[in-house]
Amino acid sequence: MKIDQVRENVKDIPHMSFTQAEAITDVILENQFQNILELGFRHGVSTCYMAGAVDELGSGTIVTIDRADAREAEPNIEQLLDSLGLAK
């Protein structure tokens, strides 16, 4: 999924800026990283950008870990990934 498609769904949600998203997306795509470990996601914006890049590569997985109270964030990571069709 292209970065601009992700941006449309997450642009008003903290905590990753679009500049940061561009940088991490470039790193993932240039290096063809398909296995990613993310520590801390809060709402899941960063996860969405990384999942979009992995989706663009055609395969891969992201394991992301945060405190249990991140599930209470509004929106939360599951909602954002589902809205993009990237929950898989």
Mean pLDDT of 5-33: 96
Q: How far apart are CA 16 and CA 24, in angstroms?
A: 10
Q: Which domains does the chain possess? A: 3-84 (3.40.50.150)
Q: 44-68: per-residue pLDDT in tens? A: 999 999 999 999 999 999 999 999 9
Model-level pTM greater than 0.75? yes
DSSP secondary structure, 58-87, as one string:
T--EEEEE--GGGGGSSS-HHHHHHHHT--
